[in-house]
Amino acid sequence: MRPDSLIRSACTRRDALASVLALSFGLGIAACAAPTPRPPASGADPLAPLRALCGKAYAGRVVADTPASADDPFAGKSLVMHVRDCRSGEIRIPFQVGEDRSRTWVIDVLADGRLRLKHDHRHRDGSADALTRYGGEQRVGTPAGRYEFPVDAESQALFRRLGREVSLGNVWALEVAPQRFVYELARPGRLFRVEFDLSAPVAAPPPPWGG
């Protein structure tokens, strides 16, 4: 082979190698920049931490409520959560405030293994409140034992329709620890947290309205 042919062949191989390395490096950067959340391992139950509480009820207390309101519906009321209904792929937790049994937290599993939180609000006769079935889908990357649910588009549309634009930035959270369960609502300028003592179960309350 002539010298100039050898040079062209070497350059071609060098350019091909450079292209492969550049492509591989680019793919590596993309993979690092945008990791794909992995669903739970096959057979894992994302609801397992809550399912361990099934059938039990716990008393709670408000630990954060800013800014405080003059007509606070929780002030001076007993607060009880009851992990009442544990179906396959869904758990329903009525949250009783005094004699008010209108609230139920509904947590179910999405196709990708993440959780979704919805709030089911009912009237005393069991009919649905106008403000019901709002919530969001689980945000990935939170610390173990904490589940965050930014408001979803469906809920934002509901809030706009009912004139509750203040709630458009809502992020709800649940925390499950060996001795504590937390329900939280946060948005700019607003924080509400209720903590329940899992070390001391209480008597189960009556069924929720509509339950």
Q: What is the pLDDT of residues 130-189, one digit of tens each?
A: 999 999 999 999 999 999 999 999 999 999 999 999 999 999 999 999 999 999 999 999
Q: Distance between CA atoms of 70 and 64, rounded to whole angstroms? A: 15
Whole-number pLDDT of residue 11: 43
| DSSP summary character for residue 128 | B
Query: Which pTM value belongs to this model?
Result: 0.80
H or E, element range at 5: helix 3-33
Convert the pLDDT of each residue in 176-196 to its tens digit. 999 999 999 999 999 999 999
Contact 181, 61 (CB under 8 A): no
Lowest-pLDDT choice from 22-26, 140-144, 200-204: 22-26
Number of H helices, E strands in the chain: 3, 11
Q: What is the 3-state secondary structure (H, E, C) of 80-98?
A: EEECCEEECCEEEEEEEEC
Q: Which residues contact 115 (CB under 8 A, 6 or more apart)?
A: 46, 47, 107, 108, 109, 137, 138, 147, 149
